[in-house]
Amino acid sequence: MALALLASALAACGNSGPVSPWASRGSTPGSLSELVTAAKAEGALTIYTPIVQSEVAQWTRAFTQKYGIKVNIQRQASSTLATTFSMQQRANKVEADIYQTSNLGQLQDFNGDKWFARYTPRSADQYPADRTIPGYAYPLYETTGAIAWNTKTVPQATQKRLAANPYEGMLDPALKGKIVLIDPGVGGSGMAYYANLAANLANQYGWGYLKKLAAQQPAIVSSIQTISQEVSAGIYSATIFGDDAIFGPLAASGAPVRFSSISPMNASQFYQEIPSKAPHPAAARLFAEWSSSLAGQQAMTTATGGRSTIQGWQENRRFARTLPWYKAPQQVWVDWQRDPRYAGDQLKDFVDKWDQTFQVSS
């Protein structure tokens, strides 16, 4: 018992030491100069993100060039990221200064535990009100779903089917055993694809379609980044998890991939927050100011392929300008992130039904 109490006490001291006055700042005062000075003194910050690491690195390079502050990137799948962050919170050894995710339910739970600092960037009112958690979480970017395939490994006749009617094209016999999907149990944007098929498109697709998709004997993985790597490499030929923000830059850079959407199509809003125990609170707040500004958002969309929802943003994504076949869906569905059917016990029931359909244990 004594050893256990000692270990608990030591864990509680994990982030002990002088507390920066910026740790309790809910907004930036009149001038940014004080914040910039404090952030430069800290000299670095760490971002926890599920976004492709190379893209985050390209984006944050502009921040480092502007302020001279080093950015460390910890990239993991959404579910792994949440587990890591939770363990650090409970051990009082938080390493993240910025936390990014598309899992709104997770954010709300963490916010309820007071794991995020109250902070409002200057640009807060330039975003749609229904895309924020006021005072805590603000939009990072939006991605639109798509069905993607490898143009070298998929027969031309099947590619035509996929381009014209992508979901039906996925049932082509030529793709049996060559499809890769994501486990909905990992949460985040992966859940949205199944929800769109089962709910919004129930009359046309629904669970009957998912049973047919399961009969195609797909591989199941836990990361959309893994899917993009394996489809572009030809390890698997097709996926319904073809986010335009991931496959668009791949296609524009010459990778043998193509993607297509229908309408309505699921879209995901990614958010970012400042942990209440961030080791570099001033640098975190400066990054929040820069990344949520129009200039930061323009840099972000150029690097990541995501779409910004800030007022005044202009389309600058390379793939949107250079891929002649790219067509954005006319209607996107973001509200799945706030839909009670995909939370709590109803979410568990949904995943259980998916497990039975695909004969996988999430």
**φ, ψ dihedrals at 254, nearest 5°:** 105, 0
For all residues of the chain together, what is the average pLDDT? 90
The pLDDT of residue 339 is 83
Q: How far apart are CA 89 and CA 326, in angstroms?
A: 42
3-state secondary structure of 283: helix
User: Between 8 and 88, where is the model more confident?
Assistant: 88
Mean pLDDT lowest for which of 35-49, 65-79, 175-189?
Answer: 175-189
Mean pLDDT of 253-257: 96
The pLDDT score that the predictor gives to residue 112 is 86
Q: Tokens 């570099």 label which residue?
A: 280
Which of 5-9, 20-24, 349-353 tops mean pLDDT? 349-353
What is the per-residue pLDDT for 32?
Answer: 87
User: What pLDDT does residue 23 have?
Assistant: 84
Which of the residue ranges 205-219, 260-274, 328-342 has the most confident prediction, judged by mean pLDDT? Answer: 205-219
Residue 343 confidence (pLDDT)? 78
Tokens of 348: 């568990």
- Residue 95's φ and ψ, nearest 5 degrees, are -110, -20
- Give the number of other CB atoms < 10 A from CB of residue 7: 10
Over residues 190-218, the mean pLDDT reads: 93
First to last CA, the chain: 37
| pLDDT for position 108 | 86
User: Distance between CA 28 and CA 282 in Å, rounded?
Assistant: 10
pTM as predicted: 0.81
Q: What's the burial of 302, exposed, middle or buried (CB within 10 Å: 0-12/13-18/19+)?
A: middle
What's residue 67's pLDDT? Answer: 97
40-50 pLDDT, tens digit per residue, is: 999 999 999 98
Residue whose tokens read 């990541």: 304
Q: 22 pLDDT band (50/70/90 cuts)?
A: confident
Judge whether residue 14 has pLDDT over 70. no
Single out the residue of 182, 143, 104 nearest to residue 343, CA to CA. 104
For 132-165, write each residue's pLDDT tens digit. 899 999 999 999 999 999 999 999 999 999 999 9
Spatial distance between the Cα atoms of 42 and 260, rounded to a whole number of angstroms = 45
Confirm if 124 and 138 have CB atoms less than 8 A apart: yes
The pLDDT of residue 224:
82
Write down how long the chain is: 362
Helix (H) or strand (E) holding 2: helix 2-12
Side chain identity at 164, as an amino acid letter?
A
- Say what the pLDDT of residue 18 is: 58
Helices (H) and strands (E) in the chain, counts: 15, 11
| SS3 (DSSP) at 355 | helix
pLDDT digits (tens, 9 = 90+) for 79-110: 889 999 999 999 999 999 999 998 888 888 89
* pLDDT beyond 50 at 248: yes
Omega within 30 of 0 (cis) for the link into 324: no
